[in-house]
Amino acid sequence: MKKIISLFCLLAVFSTSLVAQNNTAEEKAPAEEVLLKDYRPKSIYKLPEYKAEKASFGAIDMHSHPYPNSEEGIKKWVETMKENNIKKTMVLTYSTGAEFDSLYSVYSKYGDYFEVWSGIDYTGYNEPGFSEKSVKELERLHAVGATGIGELGDKGSGLVYSHPTKGVGLHIDDERLDPVLEKAGELHMPINIHVAEPYWFYMEMDSTNDGLMNAVDWRLDNKKDILGHGELLKTLENAVAKHPNTTFVAAHLGNSAYDLNIIGRMLEKYPNLYADLSARYAELSQIPRHVRQFIIDHQDKIVYGTDMGTDGHMYDVTFRVLQTMDEHFYEHDTFGYHWSLNGFDLSEDVLRKIYVTNPEKILNR
Q: What is the pLDDT of residues 113-169, one digit of tens each?
A: 999 999 999 999 999 999 999 999 999 999 999 999 999 999 999 999 998 999 999
The share of the chain scoring above pLDDT 90, in percent, equals 77
**Which residue segments constitute the domains of the chain, with CATH numbers given?**
56-364 (3.20.20.140)
pLDDT of 10 > 90? The answer is no
CA distances from 138 to 85, 89, 101, 182 (A): 32, 21, 12, 11
- Model pLDDT, residue 3: 41
Name the least confident of 89-93, 101-105, 106-110, 338-342.
Answer: 338-342
Residue 57: name the closest of 21, 19, 88 by CA.
Answer: 88
- Residue predicted with more confidence, 60 or 339: 60
Q: What is the mean pLDDT of the chain?
A: 91
180-229 per-position pLDDT tens digit: 999 999 999 999 999 999 999 999 999 898 888 888 888 999 998 899 99
Kind and range of the H or E element at 42?
Answer: none
If 0-12 CB within 10 Å is exposed, 13-18 middle and 19+ buried, where does residue 339 land?
middle
Beta 86-92 vs 59-64: how paired, if at all?
parallel
CA distances from 346 to 144, 178, 181, 200, 356 (A): 39, 38, 34, 27, 14
- Model pLDDT, residue 27: 56
Beta 167-168 vs 158-159: how paired, if at all?
antiparallel
Bridge partners of 194, per DSSP, are 153
- Model pLDDT, residue 36: 75
The answer to whether residues 191 and 147 touch, using CB atoms and an 8 Å cutoff, is no
Kind and range of the H or E element at 339?
Answer: none
275-284 per-position pLDDT tens digit: 999 999 999 9
pLDDT of 9 > 50? The answer is no
The whole-number average pLDDT for the span 253-270 is: 98
- Residue predicted with more confidence, 347 or 28: 347
Name the least confident of 24-38, 102-116, 252-266, 347-361.
Answer: 24-38
- Model pLDDT, residue 23: 44
- Model pLDDT, residue 336: 81
pLDDT of 19 > 80? The answer is no
Q: How many CA atoms lie within 13 A of 248 on its CB side?
A: 33
pTM: 0.89
